[in-house]
Every structure is written in C-alpha cells, then in structure tokens.
C-alpha cells in the first residue's frame, strides 16, 4: 500500500473552527457546529510512504502492561559435578522509549478503529478534533494494518479511509481561518453550472457543457469530503419541497440528477469486476451501467443482455445487483441518506432491466 500522506504540524496557539451544519431531514433551520481546534497555525508536509518495509525485531515480554527486554548472560563455562553449565539470566526493564512506542501504537489503533466506524459527518469531526494526530506514525501504522488484511475488501477499506482522511486534513488545514461551507452552500456550488443568468434552472440545460461541468463539480467535492450526510439531507429536503410546490420541474429534475451522479460516483469507487486475473463479465456489465448516464441505460441493456444479443443473462445481472446491494447495506450506516440513495440507484437499474426484458419478450408492461 503506497500512500502520499500529509502530516500536520502546529504551533501552540488555539482557536475554533466551524464544521458543516447538519440540517435535519425535515428541512429545519441550519445550526452552526463549533468544534475546538488544536491550533490555528497549521502546516502540511508531504511524504511518500511505502508500507513494504523491513523491520528489525527484538524480543519483548509483556507483563502487567510493562514491557521487559529479556537479556541472557552466560558466564564462563564450568562443568560441575553433574555436567551442567553455570548460567545467569537477567530480566531488566525496557527503556522508556519502547514503552512509549507501544502506548502510541495502541492510541493510533484506537483512532483508526473510530475512523473506520464513523459515518462521513462523524469522520470529519474526528479528524478536526485529532488534527495533530495525523503524523508519520499514524500513516505508517495505517499502512501496516492494511498489509495484514486477508481480504481485498478490507484492504480497499483502508485505502479509501486513507484517501478520505487526507482530503479532510487538507481541507481543514487550508481553511483553518475560513468558514467551511454549509450544506446549502455546497448544493448551490454543485448547481451553479446549470443556473442561468436570472437564477432559474432549465431542464434540459441550454448549455450542452453544463451537465459535464456539474459532474466535475460533484466529483471534486466528493473527493474533498463535502458530499456528506448533511449535503444529502439538504438535497432530499429541497427535492421534497420542489415536488410539493409542483411549479419548478427543472429544479426537481436537476436535484434527481445530482443524486444520480452522486450514487454513480460513490458506487464506481470500488470495482468487483476482477477476481485475480479473471474478468467477471456480469460484474463488469453492472459497473458499465452504474457509470453510464441514466438516459443511456436502455441501449446498454438491450445490447448487453442475452435476450437482446449480448453475453449476460437477466438472471446473472439480477444476481450481481442483489450482491452489490448487500455490500452497500453492510458498508453504510443503517438508515442513512447515503444508504438509501445508493440502494435506490441499484433498484432503479433492476427495475429498468425488468422493463427492458418485458419489452424484448413482447410482454405487456
């Protein structure tokens, strides 16, 4: 596992920083969350870490949380009456550095475990609260834990965690003296490429490059960790309001497009199309659909399914969709907006597949 890691150093002064507000699902008024920052004078330094390192090993005895370095001293050989050697063994306390190193490793492991279990909003808060903990020792330990994973899924989890933490650290360091954008501000930034001069959203956009620019904006903000649960809650609240009003079809269609692009981006981060050197065609076909715009699904399904002349049977596609949905349910927080949006996106692919199959078989829908 190779990591281009950021390390944070700071002076001893203190300040406070504002996190992204987290609106509730009912669209209540926003609240600013204030988290105490360790320092307002932060600095990033970059280093490359390759975890395939060799280590010199020493033998340690662990007793009552104290590490002892076992040393053996053999005296001059003297054969006694029973033919035995005189041997003296000394157990001496290890130096303070070894004990401190062990304690630091335990602390780093505890932080890594918390980061792995946190949802996006909690992870950002954890990073801010422990900003000075992301030093070379943290990244070395994270890489070491990745190397000991037995499954590829677990290794990918650590790689994604490393990338996410580095993005949040980068944002915090570069915005220490600035206010982090609210969920509403992030959504406005995402929709900016498709808003006309008078502030209206037309569907489809008049500018053919607008959707491409919006997709790039979503991709960039997702990498920076801005598309968190607060952002998704804001999009859902705005979408619900647009449906209730019924007078802004362009806004409603665009917000649905935002959620589609988000789901496509997140689901495309991890590929299951390779098993060793073997290409799993059913997984590869599903990933092609996931990455494609929704308006292209019909052609992809018609050309890819066996019923239309392709190589993948509907049953194979339904099976991998079910498997991918189960993975989403396992790897996302239960009841979260992220879980709901990703599973709805996969359900949309399944529903579209069923419709295409019925049409190709000549059955009425």
The domain spans of the chain are 2-51+100-174, 60-97, 183-360
Q: CB-based burial of residue 218 (10 Å sphere; 0-12 exposed, 13-18 middle, 19+ buried)?
A: buried
Per the listing, tokens 């290409």 go with: 279
Nearest C-alpha neighbor of 153 from the set 67, 238, 275: 275
- The confidence score (pLDDT) of residue 83 equals 45
- The confidence score (pLDDT) of residue 304 equals 94
- The confidence score (pLDDT) of residue 180 equals 54
pTM, rounded to two decimals: 0.59
3-state DSSP call for residue 138? helix
Tens digits of pLDDT across the chain (365 residues):
555 555 555 443 433 333 333 333 333 333 333 333 333 345 555 555 554 443 333 333 333 333 333 333 333 444 333 344 454 444 444 567 788 888 888 889 999 999 988 887 788 788 878 887 888 889 899 989 988 888 888 888 888 888 888 888 877 776 654 555 688 888 989 988 888 777 777 777 878 788 889 999 999 888 888 888 889 999 999 999 888 888 777 888 899 999 999 999 999 988 999 888 899 999 999 999 999 999 999 999 999 999 888 999 999 999 999 999 999 998 888 888 999 999 999 999 999 999 999 998 877 66
Give the DSSP per-residue string, 176-200. TTSPPPPHHHHHHHHHGGGB-TTS-
For the chain, the C-alpha Rg in angstroms (whole number) is: 27
DSSP strands (E only) in 190-268: none
Q: CB-based burial of residue 253 (10 Å sphere; 0-12 exposed, 13-18 middle, 19+ buried)?
A: middle
- The confidence score (pLDDT) of residue 22 equals 31
- The confidence score (pLDDT) of residue 249 equals 79
């Amino acid at each position: 596992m190779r990591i281009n890691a950021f390390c944070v150093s700071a002076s001893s002064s203190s300040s406070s920083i504002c996190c992204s507000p987290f609106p509730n699902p009912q669209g209540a008024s926003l609240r600013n969350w204030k988290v105490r920052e360790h320092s307002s004078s932060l600095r990033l330094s970059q280093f490359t870490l390759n975890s395939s390192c060799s280590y010199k090993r020493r033998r340690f005895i662990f007793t009552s949380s104290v590490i002892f370095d076992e040393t053996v001293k053999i005296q001059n050989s003297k054969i006694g009456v029973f033919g035995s050697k005189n041997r003296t063994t000394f157990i001496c306390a290890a130096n303070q550095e070894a004990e401190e190193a062990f304690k630091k490793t335990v602390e780093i492991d505890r932080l890594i475990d918390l980061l792995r279990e946190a949802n996006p909003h909690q992870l950002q808060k954890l990073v801010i609260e422990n900003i000075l903990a992301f030093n070379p020792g943290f990244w070395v330990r994270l890489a070491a834990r990745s190397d000991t994973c037995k499954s590829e899924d677990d290794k990918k989890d650590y790689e994604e965690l490393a990338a996410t933490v580095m993005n949040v650290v980068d944002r915090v360091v570069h915005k220490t003296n600035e206010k982090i954008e609210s969920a509403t501000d992030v959504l406005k930034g995402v929709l900016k490429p498709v808003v006309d001069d008078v502030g209206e959203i037309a569907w489809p956009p008049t500018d053919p490059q607008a959707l491409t620019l919006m997709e790039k904006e979503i991709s960039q903000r997702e990498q920076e960790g801005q598309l968190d649960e607060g952002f998704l809650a804001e999009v859902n609240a705005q979408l619900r309001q647009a449906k209730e009003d019924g007078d802004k079809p362009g806004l409603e269609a665009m917000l649905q497009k935002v959620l589609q692009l988000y789901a496509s981006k997140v689901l495309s981060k991890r590929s299951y199309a390779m098993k060793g050197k073997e290409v799993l065609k059913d997984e590869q076909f599903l990933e092609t659909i996931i990455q494609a715009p929704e308006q292209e699904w019909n052609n992809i399904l018609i050309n890819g399914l066996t019923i239309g002349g392709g190589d993948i049977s509907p049953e194979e596609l339904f099976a991998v969709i079910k498997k991918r949905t189960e993975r989403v349910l396992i790897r996302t927080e239960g009841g979260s907006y992220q879980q709901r949006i990703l599973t709805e996106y996969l359900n949309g692919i399944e529903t579209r597949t069923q419709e295409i199959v019925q049409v190709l078989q000549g059955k009425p829908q």
